[in-house]
Amino acid sequence: MHHPHLRLLDCRFDLRDALLGRMAYAEGHLPGAVYTDLEMNLSGPVTESGAGGRHPLPDPQALAAWLGEQGIGPDSLVVCYDAGGAQGFYAARAWWLLRWLGHEQVAVLDGGLTAWQAAGGELTSQEPQPTPATFTPKVQTSYLATADEVAALSDDTLLIDSRAPERYRGDTEPLDRKAGHIPGAVNRPWTEALDGQGRFQAAESQAERLGAAPAQATVTYCGSGVSATPNLLARELAGVPLGPDNRLYAGSWSDWVSDDARPITTGPAST
């Protein structure tokens, strides 16, 4: 990777133990990468009511200030990476957040750390000392859908649930207070965006898998707004950029079930 303004974000994390990602970073990371914690840096405080979900969006100014401290400014090319494979959604969360803040020069390292090492890339335990920069956020409100907007979606918009099929059906729910899915949602597990090597599939495969027409709007959700982001990236790869036709319901299922008045559905999708 050679770019005069390259900045790397190591986004490895484990929902079962928040310390594992930081420990893995300390053992070895891409040269120049700074550690980026899902819950400390890429999420806001969880509310007592659960509104906003398990990983609420961070305050834009707070995130922008942290990015600036990491040396990320308007000219930076930011590459986000995680472990890849089954843990390959944390980098996409960082990618989406930077795009939400109006930063266009951001990418995800395809295949994550696994692909880097397979290609002969070296790791280091040395932590960088970035020169601070000024990151000015330009929040893209069109990238988001609220719970009320999701509840009022027309049949013209495809609502995509990115979780595993068993969680979508409501067979099991290991994290949130209710099981099932939002009425009208179709199940497109985020893992199917990747091939057998943990890399994103080609654009044609993404379009076919997601099942949305090029001109059709989509709103995508997951459990807490993290694992939905690979599907948003997949739709952009298929030719539909983030915006009104490719939005994230950031609070996702954990936000939806924080209000008992909202309906839920269980079982497979109707045909």
- Catalytic residue numbers read 222
The position carrying tokens 């692909």 is: 115
Angle of helix 90-100 relative to helix 229-237, nearest 10 degrees, comes to 70
Q: Quote the CA–CA distance of 104 and 52 in Å, as a whole number.
A: 25
- Give me the half-sphere count of Cα atoms (radius 13 Å) on the Cβ side of residue 214: 5
Q: Quote the CA–CA distance of 21 and 81 in Å, as a whole number.
A: 12
Among the listed residues 73, 130, 63, 65, the one whose alpha carbon sits nearest the alpha carbon of residue 97: 63
Q: What is the DSSP secondary structure assignment for residue 221, as one 8-state letter? A: E
Cα distances from 13 to residues 90, 112, 151, 163, 226, in angstroms, run: 7, 13, 31, 18, 11
